[in-house]
Structure formats: structure tokens, C-alpha cells
Structure 1
Amino acid sequence: MATTICFLIWVAFITDSVWTRTVRQVYEVHDPEDFNEQDFDCPRECFCPPSFPTALYCENRGLKEIPAIPSRIWYLYLENNLIETIPEKPFENATQLRWINLNKNKITNDGIERGALSQLKKLLFLFLEDNELEEVPSPLPRSLEQLQLARNKVSRIPQGTFSNLENLTLLDLQHNKLLDNAFQRDTFKGLKNLMQLNMAKNALRNMPPRLPANTMQLFLDNNSIEGIPENYFNVIPKVAFLRLNHNKLSDSGLPSSGFDVSSILDLQLSHNRLTKVPRINAHLQHLHLDHNKIRSK
């Protein structure tokens, strides 16, 4: 029990440390006197709050193009527009950007000019949910800590896409069109600090190969996964939260040791095809097995 409590505290501490560091970097307050008069230029399509001079609000305006971004901007909100392209030019002076929200637009891979994103050397958060992407965009800035790509049409991950993203802690690819052939053994190479990987609601039949060793949260709900390879969890010895709800797991598809993994604290296996309770570890805190075919003896 003491070991479990210590591990829970450790997980909370690590997660909080990453989040706190990022929030501190992103929400650092600036004195208006730090900027000259020219710095306060505001694109006519957007709103620049005087009390928050590093933010630029351009959401819900029917924009088809990204306006020129002033050099003072750290936080850029462009969600829910009609934007199809991300060219380099609007970001020429935007060297301080930490946060870009481009959710709910019409952006395609062909519309992203090569270098438009990778030139943003201080970018931490990139939101591209609900667009028209068919592959993970590349190249991306090495500084990136969170990449949100949910609800696109992603079916491909070009080789080397993640090779330089050693600072990425969260990768969200849920609700896309990923098949097993989207992954190579080195697909996730380079993601040394990844903690959360979300690939729920895709079309996977197998567990993704060679996940980053520091992965703590793995979400694979709503796929068609039928089995888990022997010794699969040896590669991700820190995984604590594992979600495999709404798949096609059967007793014969589980490794001989089942889920007897000391790091797993929360295991979700609801809506599968199990007929018996799988082998688990004494450290497990939460086990979800509803809507299987398990019968009490």
C-alpha cells in the first residue's frame, strides 16, 4: 500500500510539474511598458485586449487567411474560421509565439507551407483539431510540448515526423483514420518525454509498436484491437493509465501474464469479449470490466 501511495504521489508530481512548467512559460505576465507604440498594432480582423497585450483573438470571424501576426504576440486564437492554408509570411515577425489555436478550420497538409510552423522556435502548444489533415504535419518546432490533432482525417505519419520533438509531452491523435500500417518500428522515435498518447477512435487492430518509454497514459478506446503481444508492456514500464474500452479483446488475445504490470493503476477494459477476469497486479487501483462476457462462478 505504501508503495502504491508513493507511486501515485510521484505520478501526480511529475504530471503537475510538466503542466506547471508549461503554464508558467505560457502565461508569463508582461508589463505594457515592455512594448513600444508600434508593438501595439492590431490586425483589423482581430481583437487585441489592452490588458492582455500578448494575446490576439481572431476566432469566429469567417477568416479565410491568417493575418500578419505582430511581434509581441504569444497567444494566437484563430479557431472556428474558414482558413485553408498556413503560409510562412504571416508569422515572419511572430518569434515569441507560445500558443496557436487553429481548431475548426479547413486546413489541409498541402496548405501548410514547409517551414511555416518549424520557424516558430518558442511554440509550446499547437491545436489543429477538426481540420482536413490527412497526415501528421511536418516539420514542427523542436520546442513543442503539446500537439492536438483530434478529429481530422489522419491516416499517415511520415517517417521522421517526431524525430526532433524531444520536448513533446502530449500527442492527441484521437478520432482519425489510423490503420496499423501507419506505424513503423521507429515511428515514435525521438519522443523521449512523451507522457500522454491518445489514439482512441481510429481503426487499429493491433497495439501500436515501440511506444516511447516514458508513456504514462495510453488511450486506445474505440478501435478494433484483438490482442496484446507478449511482453508488450516491457517497453513502457511507466504506463499508469491504460484505456482499451470498446475493442475486440478476448482471453486468447492477452499475454500470458495478462496485465500483471506493477505500474498500471487504472485499467479500463469495458466493452470487449473477455470471458474471465485477466491476471492483474496488486498495485492496480481501478479495474473496469463491464460489458464483457464474464460470468460469476
Structure 2
Amino acid sequence: MMEAFLALSCLLLASSVGSQDLSYEAMLQQLHACPKECRCPPSFPHAVYCENRGLKTIPAIPPHTWYLYLHNNQIEVLSEQALRNATALRWVNLNRNKITSEGVDEGAMKAMSNLLHLYMEDNQLTDIPSPLPASLEQLRLSRNKISKIAPGVFAGMDHLSLLDLQGNKLEDDSVTEESLKGLSGLVQLNMAKNNLKTMPGGLPLSTTQLFLDSNAIEKIPVDYFKGLPKVAFVRLNYNKLADGGLPKDVFNSSNILDLQLSHNQLTEVPRFPLSLEHLHLNNNKIKSVNGSEICPVPLNDLYDYFDDKGPRLQYLRLDGNEIKPPIPRELMMCFHLLRSIVI
């Protein structure tokens, strides 16, 4: 009876099978091998759904699985045996389990040679899993207990574009040029909610989005952003930055588009580059805004700048400070593209 049902499902979905490069025989094999604890919909034959099942171990995964969902279980070990045949995996979600670093079999990572996305958020990892598949594009490890990044752990990981380490226990000596070596294609780095007191060093030149909210950072080195030519989005909300921790032109050497410095200890608006479009300074200690001083170019020279070359600021948030209306006239003269000011 079961075989008849599977055969009928395959026949009804022949067109979708072809679009996913899975033959009739392969689909039968995939559905027959579906673990009894999981769900393998014939309409999506490359996916295996095992979430919210109270699993303590990973069942044997069928060979044609691309997308594996194991989140919200009680899994403690990432087993080589369970993934031995699942060499086609592209996306694995292991969020909200109980996996420790000691519970990650070295062979389990080696088997996933085609993996693109690995989600292991809300587990009990103390180290970055290793060795990682060189094919990996996104690695999400937020809300674990990671306190160090071993040198060489990212060697050969030039395809990795997103690294999320939010909500771990990283300190300053954990993030060095040596520990991040190999991430030549990194675009987004999230190290919010860690124990950093200084800006992380050795970031790849490719870094475009840098999220460092809710640390204890007090100072930005004067040439910090000169080493990050592509950085466009910087979030430093909920840190301990005061005026003395921001060198006068620390942001002017960059092409930042979105800069967030909310919930710090600033009393003045820092200088920022012509390129900046969004500036968040809410909940600081700023008492006034001098449009002439913060304008990236002298007000008298503004007419020498075409619209595509002049200040690009469109959004400015200043609420939660000690500033009172009205908005200074010089501010509007300089930033004529401003669409929203929150005071």
C-alpha cells in the first residue's frame, strides 16, 4: 500500500521532479529512506523536516537531501554516522539544540562538502566547529558560549560571506588577524552582545557590514576604517563611546552609508563623510547641533558641489538627547537631501 502511494505521488509530481534534477528512481529512494521521525513531502523531495520532534540524536539522513531541518530538538551530538550518506546537503538548521563542541564529530563536517548554509544558533558550543566545509557561504552561531576563535579555523573559507557570532563570550584577544585569516570574501560580520572593549582587529578588506552593538567598546583607533575600504553599514549602539574615543576624522576616511551610535555617551555630533545617508545618535548626551561644524564641506562652498557629489544625509535621529527644537538653519542648508529628522 505504501509503495503504491509513493509511486502515485511521484507520477503526479513528475514535472516538479524534473525541475529539481531528481529522477523517478531517486525520488522513490529518497522517500523510502525518509526517517520515521521526520517528514519528507513528495512535493519538495530534497527537504527533510525533523524539527520539534524531541529528538536526542540525528536519524540517518537520505542521500538526496539538500535542506535538513533539525531545529527545536534535544540533540547533543552532530554525528558523522547520521550524515554519512547525505553528501548533497546545502542547508542545515540545527538551531535550539544542546550540541557542544565536544559533540561535533570531525567527520560530520567533512561529509557536508556541498554545504552553503549552517545554522547552529542557541546551542552550547564553546569553539567554532572545525573543519568547516570550504563551500560554506553563511555560518550562524549566535547565542552559544564561544569564547575564542582558533587560528586557522577559517583557512580556505573564501566563500563565506556571512559570519554571525552574536551573543557569545568573545573578548578582545579572541578576534585577531590570525583568527580571521581566510575570510577573504566576508561581507557581514556580527559580533554584537559579546565582551569586546576594543574594535576587533584584522577584519577582511571585503567587510561591508559590521555589527558591534551591546559590547563595552570605548575607543575607535584613528585609522581603523582606512583598513576597511568597503564598509558601508556600522552599528555601535549600546557601547561606551564618549567624545574622546572618537578621533576627529575617524569616519571621514570611509564610505559609510549607515552609521549607528545610539545609546553611548557622546556630547557632540561626530564628523562624518559625504557618503553617509543614515545617522543614528539617539540616547546620548548631546546638547546642541551646530550645522556649520558637522557639515562635511564648508557652507560657503556648497554650491560648488553637484547633487551627486554633495552631502548625502537623508535620515538623522537625535531623540533621547538634550536637544530642543528648532532645527538649526545651517543644518538644513548643508543637508538638503534630509527627509527625516527625529529630535
Tell whether 2:91 aligns with 1:94: no
Match of 1:233 among 225, 234, 247: 225
Contact 2:57-2:76 at 8 Å conserved across structures: yes
Match of 2:167 among 147, 164, 175: 175
Corresponding residue of 1:12: none
Deviations 1:154-186 (A, max 9, x none): 111111111121100000000111111212331
Deviation of residue 39 (structure 1)? 3.1
Q: Partner of 2:109: helix, strand, or coil? A: coil
Deviations 1:59-87 (A, max 9, x none): 00000000111101000000000000012
Contact 2:151-2:180 at 8 Å conserved across structures: no
Corresponding residue of 1:278: 270
Corresponding residue of 1:4: none
State the distance in 2 between where 1:37 and 1:268 align. 52
Deviation of residue 32 (structure 1)? 5.2
Corresponding residue of 2:52: 60
Corresponding residue of 1:254: 246
Match of 1:156 among 144, 148, 155: 148
User: CA 1:228/1:174 → structure 2, altered by over 3 Å: closer, same or farther?
Assistant: same
Tell whether 2:107 aligns with 1:107: no
> Quick one: which amino acid aligns to residue 239 of structure 1?
V
Contact 1:32-1:53 at 8 Å conserved across structures: no
Contact 2:226-2:254 at 8 Å conserved across structures: no
Contact 1:151-1:174 at 8 Å conserved across structures: yes
Q: Give unmatched runs, 5+ long, in structure 1.
A: 1-27
State the distance in 2 between where 1:272 and 1:44 align. 53
Contact 1:65-1:85 at 8 Å conserved across structures: yes
> Quick one: which amino acid aligns to residue 221 of structure 1?
D
Deviation of residue 254 (structure 1)? 1.4
Structure number with larger C-alpha Rg? 2
Corresponding residue of 2:307: none
User: CA 1:31/1:88 → structure 2, altered by over 3 Å: closer, same or farther?
Assistant: closer
Corresponding residue of 2:211: 219
Contact 1:262-1:282 at 8 Å conserved across structures: no
State the distance in 2 between where 1:114 and 1:271 align. 42
Contact 2:211-2:236 at 8 Å conserved across structures: yes
The higher relative CO (CA closer than 8 Å, separation ≥ 6) is in: 1
Name the Cα RMSD after superposition.
1.3
User: CA 1:277/1:97 → structure 2, altered by over 3 Å: closer, same or farther?
Assistant: same
State the distance in 2 between where 1:293 and 1:280 align. 18
State the distance in 1 between where 2:114 and 2:125 align. 23
Deviation of residue 34 (structure 1)? 6.1
Contact 2:30-2:45 at 8 Å conserved across structures: no
Deviations 1:180-201 (A, max 9, x none): 1212331111101110000001
Deviation of residue 118 (structure 1)? 2.6
Q: Partner of 1:110: helix, strand, or coil? A: helix
State the distance in 2 between where 1:156 and 1:115 align. 22
Aligned pairs for 1:130-169 within 5 A? 130-169=122-161
State the distance in 2 between where 1:208 and 1:34 align. 51
Indicate the larger mover: 183-192 or 205-214. Answer: 183-192
State the distance in 2 between where 1:86 and 1:264 align. 40
Deviation of residue 36 (structure 1)? 5.3
Q: Partner of 1:154: helix, strand, or coil? A: coil
**What's the TM-score, normalizing by structure 1?**
0.88
Deviation of residue 29 (structure 1)? 2.8
Match of 2:28 among 34, 37, 53: 37
Contact 1:125-1:147 at 8 Å conserved across structures: yes
> Quick one: which amino acid aligns to residue 96 of structure 1?
A
> Quick one: which amino acid aligns to residue 35 of structure 1?
A
User: CA 1:144/1:34 → structure 2, altered by over 3 Å: closer, same or farther?
Assistant: farther
State the distance in 1 between where 2:107 and 2:253 align. 42
User: CA 1:219/1:36 → structure 2, altered by over 3 Å: closer, same or farther?
Assistant: closer
State the distance in 2 between where 1:148 and 1:262 align. 27
Match of 1:50 among 24, 42, 55: 42
> Quick one: which amino acid aligns to residue 123 of structure 2?
N
